[in-house]
Amino acid sequence: MAEAPVTFPLAGRRIFVTGHGGMVGSALRRRLARVDCEILTATRSEADLRRQAETEAWFEANRPDVVILAAATVGGILANSTRPAEFLYDNMMIAGNVLEASRRSGAKKVLFLGSSCIYPRLSPQPITEEALLTGPLEPTNEWYALAKIAGMKLGAAMRRQYGCDFVAAQPTNLYGPGDTYDLESSHVIPALLAKTHLAKVHGDKEVEIWGTGKPRREFLHVDDLADALIFILEHYSAELHLNVGWGEDVSIAELAGMVAETVGFKGGFRYATDKPDGMPRKLLDTTRLLNLGWRPKIGLREGLADAYQWFRKNSDQLIAS
Ligand code: GFB
């Protein structure tokens, strides 16, 4: 199938990457280095995006052409359930402030990033974009999901009411260089890489896995996500959000085996069934994005090796080994 035409070239644009220091923001800056554009960033002390006045002042002074909303308070299953107020408040405010400031300062295109947890807990698999708001959310991450749904709908409403070219992408579970390795707030891949690495270093026989190991997750390398986001900015303009994923999922037990191979850990796993499983399955249907002509490139084994290499390089700062 032929690739959809470029309708919004990024060359020559001033592009504000919010959350530039995070895993997604860093990947976006690596990807945008291949585009002849100007990348704008703001540290939290320059503009705390949870504060409306600071956000509007920054936009007034800098007037970006394009805004990518990658800033968010994020975390894995435990952080989502233990810090619900932060996950709801921070993400609601960031979305509201950045979208409104983008509109007021005349940004020509905005890309909002959601998350696959916006979909109902028991969505038919693979999950299509139409599954949104068709059933109850997964309780462990409903706070984050509600903020992301509200932000996405605000962008869509601005598109309808003011004609803004605001679009949204829904990435599946992400991993890669720059991930969070703090075990209280990390997602499963960095958690398993760190725990398995430490077990190997200490000669432990077992690594603890949270939950039953049965939930299934789809994982996308963050460099593939960044590539998809640039593709969406250039090729897509419509109200409906677009799923971004790898196309296949694995069980957490299968993932643990792959991580053990990556790290070279020969021991076994112990399942902590007092810890939550979360959504039983979360595989995105990416037919829409594939039909526009985009393809992911980095498979899970290759991606795990890359993430582990980054972890090894940075492990002194990340974790006391
Ligand atoms: O990556 P994770 O925290 O996110 O957990 P979710 C995925 C699965 O891995 C769950 C299991 O079934 C966990 O119980 N797991 C096993 C572990 N061992 C571990 C471990 O050591 N650490 C972690 N973190 N998990 C998040 C949402 O849900 O997905 C966020 O909470 C966000 O809001 C993100 O949407 C994409 O996929 O369960």
pLDDT of residue 318: 73
Ligand 1 pocket, CB under 6 A = 76-77, 80, 115-117, 140-141, 144, 173, 186-188, 191, 209-211, 215, 217, 252, 275-279
Question: Do the Cβ atoms of 179 and 189 come closer than 8 Å?
Answer: yes
Question: Do the Cβ atoms of 68 and 107 come closer than 8 Å?
Answer: no
Q: Which atom of ligand 1 is nearest to the CA of 76?
A: 3
Query: Crossing angle of helices 23-32/222-235, nearest 10°?
Result: 60
Q: Report the alpha-carbon distance of residue 216 to residue 277 in Å, rounded.
A: 10
pLDDT of residue 2: 83
Q: From ligand 1's centre to the CA of 85, what distance in Å? A: 19
Strands 216-217 and 250-251: what pairing? antiparallel
Q: Which atom of ligand 1 is nearest to the CA of 173?
A: 36
Q: From ligand 1's centre to the CA of 188, what distance in Å? A: 5
Q: For 18-34, write each residue's pLDDT tens digit.
A: 999 999 999 999 999 99
**How distant is the alpha carbon of residue 65 from its chain centre?**
23
Instruction: Tell me if the bond preceding 126 is cis, omega within 30° of 0.
Output: yes
SS3 of residue 209 by DSSP: strand
pLDDT of residue 321: 46
Shortest-distance Cα residue to atom 17 of ligand 1? 188
**Rg (alpha carbons) of the chain, rounded to whole number:** 19
Of residues 233, 296, 241, the one with CA closest to residue 16? 233
Q: From ligand 1's centre to the CA of 278, what distance in Å? A: 7
Q: For 209-231, write each residue's pLDDT tens digit.
A: 999 999 999 999 999 999 999 99
Q: From ligand 1's centre to the CA of 93, what distance in Å? A: 24
* Active-site amino acid positions: 144
Average pLDDT over residues 5-24: 97
Question: Which amino acid is it at 168?
Answer: A
Question: Do the Cβ atoms of 216 and 281 come closer than 8 Å?
Answer: yes
